[in-house]
Amino acid sequence: MKASKFLAVPYIAWVLIFTIIPLSLVVFFALTDSDGNFTLDNLFQMSDYMSVLFRSIVFAIIATVICLVIAFPAAYIISRVSSMNQSSLIILIMVPMWISFLLRTYAWMTLLEPNGLINKMFSLVGLGPFDLINNAGAVILGMVYNYLPFMILPLHSVMTKIEPHTVEAAQDLGCNKINLVRKVILPLSMPGISTGIVAVFVPSVSTFVISRMLGGGTNDLIGDFIESQFLGNSYNPHLGSAMALVLMVIVLFMMSLFNQFGSEEGAV
């Protein structure tokens, strides 16, 4: 008994140093002024940033929905091919994740620029140039591109557990393709869908790199403002902490909502 308790010490120390203490500091900064006195002013100041917060959530929701729409059929197709092809397809999906996140986003900049690769190809056929960068669409594209694997992987892992016989049984009992997806594959994939939604939504709603690089300064998200309170010109860690706290509460609320949804579906 003693020994096993002793083994938990590194873990507890880790959680204490890297999770509990920083979180406590965020809460402390959010609820104090520069003199260290208790105040709710920081939270009230958040009202100036409501439109940004709203935009962040809307962008993240759009990105999450697009990821789901792309990932669902992709994951299903991958889960139905032979297991050898499955592992190579999954590796293909994961390979971009081995490259730095920043590098991947820079790559998109060079592709989308007014005289970037895509516009050059359009000009070859006499089209363009189009405004592909520095707008909301580019930011959402960046989110979808970067976080799509987080949707495909959990979906794939639940879909591989759907037996081929279960699919055949549904067809046997009269399901066409649409009914097959609606009545069998979708409900059986629910746990993966809720995991994937959380895994895409959370990093999307708090990103600041993608919006800065692809948004052109007009589509800054809450993550950009939080960062600028700590590292930027408008240095104010108290306000930054308050923003981070509010965002965290919203994310936790949404996560618990999805988790409940997912576990209910999975339990039946």
Partner 1 sequence: MKNTIISLRNAVVEYDGEKILKDINLDIIDKQFVTLLGPSGCGKTTTLRIIGGFAEMASGELFFNGVKINNLPPHKRQVNTVFQKYALFPHLNIFENIAFGLRIQKLPEKEIKARVEEMLKLVNMEGFEKRSINSLSGGQQQRIAIARALVNRPKVLLLDEPLGALDLKLRKEMQIELKRIQQELEITFIYVTHDQEEALTMSDTVVVMKDGTIQQIGTPQDIYNEPNNAFIADFIGESNIIDGIMRRDFLVEFAGKEFACVDKGFEKDELVDVVIRPEDIKVVPQYQGAIIGVVENVIFKGVHYEISVDALGYKWIIHSTQSEEVGSIIGMNVTPTDIHIMHKQEEE
168 binds partner 1 (CB under 8 A): yes
How large is the greatest C-alpha to C-alpha distance in the chain, in angstroms? 76
Q: Kindly tell me which residue out of 4, 8, 38, 172 binds partner 1, with binding defined by CB under 8 A.
A: 172
81 binds partner 1 (CB under 8 A): no
Q: Which two tokens stand for residue 136?
A: 């909301």
Q: How far is the CB of 190 from partner 1 (least distance, A)?
A: 8
Binding mask 176-195 for partner 1 (x = CB under 8 A): x--x---xx--xx-------
Selection from 42, 46, 49 nearest residue 220 by Cα: 49
Query: Measured between alpha carbons, how far is residue 23 from residues 14, 34, 42, 52 in Å?
Result: 13, 18, 17, 23
Q: How many CB atoms lie within 10 A of CB 61?
A: 16
166 binds partner 1 (CB under 8 A): yes
Nearer to partner 1, 99 or 183 (CB): 183
173 binds partner 1 (CB under 8 A): yes
Q: Kindly tell me which residue out of 25, 95, 169, 249 binds partner 1, with binding defined by CB under 8 A.
A: 169
Q: How far is the CB of 169 from partner 1 (least distance, A)?
A: 4
In degrees rounded to 5, what are phi and psi of residue 185? Answer: -70, -45
Q: Which of these segments, 100-108, 141-149, 169-177, 219-227, binds partner 1 (CB under 8 A)?
A: 169-177
- Contacts of residues 251-260 at CB distance under 8 Å and 24 or more positions apart, as own/partner, are 251/201, 251/202, 251/205, 251/206, 254/198, 254/201, 255/198, 255/202, 258/194, 258/197, 258/198, 259/194, 259/198
Q: How far is the CB of 161 from partner 1 (least distance, A)?
A: 9
Q: How many Cα atoms are found within 13 Å in the side-chain-facing hemisphere of 218?
A: 7
Nearer to partner 1, 26 or 158 (CB): 158
Strand partners, 38: 32
Q: Which of these segments, 23-31, 72-80, 158-166, 224-232, binds partner 1 (CB under 8 A)?
A: 158-166
175 binds partner 1 (CB under 8 A): yes
Q: What is the binding site for partner 1 (CB under 8 A)?
A: 163, 165-166, 168-176, 179, 183-184, 187-188, 265, 268
